[in-house]
Structures are given as structure tokens and as C-alpha cells.
Amino acid sequence: GAVVSQHPSRVICKSGTSVKIECRSLDFQATTMFWYRQFPKQSLMLMATSNEGSKATYEQGVEKDKFLINHASLTLSTLTVTSAHPEDSSFYICSARSVHTPYEQYFGPGTRLTVT
Amino acid sequence: GDSVTQMEGPVTLSEEAFLTINCTYTATGYPSLFWYVQYPGEGLQLLLKATKADDKGSNKGFEATYRKETTSFHLEKGSVQVSDSAVYFCALSERAGTALIFGKGTTLSVSS
């Protein structure tokens, strides 16, 4: 089946530093990837949609300069949290859509970010 | 805009009990509907889906029927197991390729 990986699974960083999270589709080409944020015991909130080779589309209220998204290839998208602050601590989840199964999204296992 | 409302949890059941988790949606068009499951410490997994009215999605003993007249997609299982303990999310997609809109999730705990 379609597998999506995320790296790292957990990261702790100091306030003011930047962190990069990778999302890879391992056995399919992902024309579109989505980045979600999940707060404890809450639902997933869509942050942005990225299409390969073009700029990401951010949801209202999401700072594009703080959450940099790059979708440079059909199998890799990255989310960089710049100048991280404790309030950025969260669970970040990516999902990927294959052109062959447009109704389905395949989710990565998530990345737990803790900013101290 | 489109939205998904699912019953608040947590839901606590004994093994072999019947499970229903209610989910209703608001959408302008004809969305596809999904149930995802998140086991402790893991990512979301697609449990089942339905892409048009009256479709029934089923998987691992779970079922849900797309009811356009009541805008509902309730999840059911006849006999739950301890291994079903997880968080269940109802979601919709307006059309193929668009992002999912999730409900808040329902935590299910099954005890033996």
C-alpha cells in the first residue's frame, strides 16, 4: 500500500531556532501534499496545501513566513518552522495524494515538535 | 463553509459491546466521507470511505453508510475488541484532491 514517512518523529529545539520536517511518499508519486497541525486531544487543522513545483497555499491564519513549505519533488515535501517559539510545540502531520487515487490521502506518522 | 461534527468522547465500552459513533456534516456539494483511526502513538489510517449517497463503507467489522437525507455518516461495529481502542475521526473531502475537513475526534476505550 501507499506509505508516507516523516522525519524526524520527535524533535526538541530551543526557542529561536529553526526546525525542518520532511515528508516522503515512499512508493508513489505525490502530486499534492498537505500539512496539518494537531493539538492535544483536538482535531487536525489544515495548515497548507503544497503542489509539486509550485508555491504552497496557506490556510487563513497560518504565517507563511514562519512555516516554510517546499515541495521540490514528487516524493518529498518539507516544512520548516522558523524562529520557533514554545507555542509552536505541536504534532505536525503530513499527508500525500496520489494522482491515481484522488479521493484518498495517505498520512505520515507525524512529528512531535517541542520548543523549549 | 463545510464542517464535520462528531459525538464527543470519550466512549468507554466493554469488549463485545455494540459501537456507534455519530457523525454529521455540512457541505454545499456532494462530498466524499471518511473515517480515520489513530492508534496511540501512530499516524492516521483510513478505516473506510464512501464517495456517494447510500454507499456503505466497511472494513475490519466497522461500517458506515452515507446518508444524504440526514447528512450523516455514523460509524458502527457490532462487537468491539480491546484492540479497537483508538481515536476515530470523521472527515469529508469536497471533491477529489482537496484537503480533508476533520471532526474533533472521538476517543474509544474498550476494556476486557
Does B104 contact A97 at a Cβ distance shorter than 8 Å?
no
Provide CB contacts within 8 A for B70, sequence distance 6+. B24
Instruction: Read off the pLDDT of residues A8-47 as tens digits, 9 standing for 90 and up.
Output: 999 999 999 999 999 999 989 988 999 999 987 778 899 9
A43 φ/ψ angles, rounded to the nearest 5 degrees = -80, 180
DSSP line for A35-88: EEEE-TTS-EEEEEEEETTS--EEPTT--TTTEEEEEEETTEEEEEE-S--GGG
Does B100 contact A32 at a Cβ distance shorter than 8 Å?
no
Residue of A43, A50, A62, A101 for testing the chain B interface, max B β-carbons within 10 Å: A43
In B, minimum Cα distance to A37 occurs at B102
Put simply, whether B44 touches A (Cβ < 8 Å) is: yes
Which of B42, B43, B105 is facing A43, going by the closest CB pair?
A: B105
Instruction: Read off the pLDDT of residues B55-88 as tens digits, 9 standing for 90 and up.
Output: 999 999 999 999 999 999 999 999 999 999 999 9
Instruction: Read off the pLDDT of residues A82-105 as tens digits, 9 standing for 90 and up.
Output: 999 999 999 999 999 887 877 778
Question: pLDDT at position A14, please?
Answer: 96
Residue B19 CA to residue B76 CA, distance in Å, equals 5
